[in-house]
Amino acid sequence: MGEIVVHVEADVNLTESAEKVQEAITNIFAELNLQTKPVGKAIVLIGEARGRDSLTCLRDLLRREHIRSAARAVFLEGAGRKSLRFCVNKQVAYVGHLSFSKETGESPLGPIRVTIECDDPRELIEWLASRST
C-alpha cells in the first residue's frame, strides 16, 4: 500500500457546534489531528493523519455496520491513480454510524470530505472493505 495520508475537512456552519462536528469526524478517524481554519464568518475543520492505523476506526465501522459492499462501490467510484475521495454524512457520523453522501445536496449541513493519498488505491480498498471477513 505504501505511504497513506488521510486528509479530512468539514465546514462548521453558523448553526453548528464546532465540538460536535469535531466529534463526528473523530468518530470515524480517531487518530486525526484537527485544526480550525476561519473562512469568512464560519470555520472549517481540517485534519490530517498518516499511516494505515489512522483508518482502523473507519475499517471497523464498515464491518460493524455491514456496509462493506456499499463502501467498495463508493470507494471505487472515487478512486484515482494515487488517491481515494469520498464524503460522509456529518450528522450520521456524530451518532457513531457511517453513511456516505455526495458533496452537495444530500447532507443538509454539508458532508465530511475525505481524501486518502496512497500508492495503490485498489489495494487500500481491499483492505478497508474486503469481500471476505
Q: What is the number of domains present in the chain? A: 1
pLDDT band at 105 (very low <50, low <70, confident <90, very high): low
* DSSP code for 47: E
Is 111 buried (19+), middle (13-18) or exposed (0-12) by CB count in 10 A?
buried
- Does the structure show a pLDDT above 90 at 111? yes
Distance CA 25, CA 28 (A): 6
AA letter at 89: N
Residue 133 lies in a domain: no
AA letter at 27: N
CATH number of the domain within which 99 lies = 3.30.1440.10
Q: Which of 93, 91, 94, 96 is nearest to 108 (CA)?
A: 91
Residue 26 lies in a domain: yes
Highest mean pLDDT among 27-31, 38-42, 59-63: 59-63
- Does the structure show a pLDDT above 60 at 16? yes
Q: Which domain holds residue 67?
A: 5-128
Higher pLDDT, 1 or 63: 63
Residue 27 lies in a domain: yes
Mean per-residue pLDDT, 39-48: 91
| Contacts of 25 by beta carbon, 8 Å cutoff, 6+ apart | 8, 10, 32, 34, 45, 47, 93, 112
pLDDT of residue 33: 87
* Residues paired with 36 in a beta bridge: 45
Give the tens place of pLDDT for each residue, 79-103.
Answer: 999 999 999 999 999 999 999 998 8
- Does the structure show a pLDDT above 80 at 106? no
- Does the structure show a pLDDT above 80 at 132? no
- Which H or E element spans position 24? helix 18-28
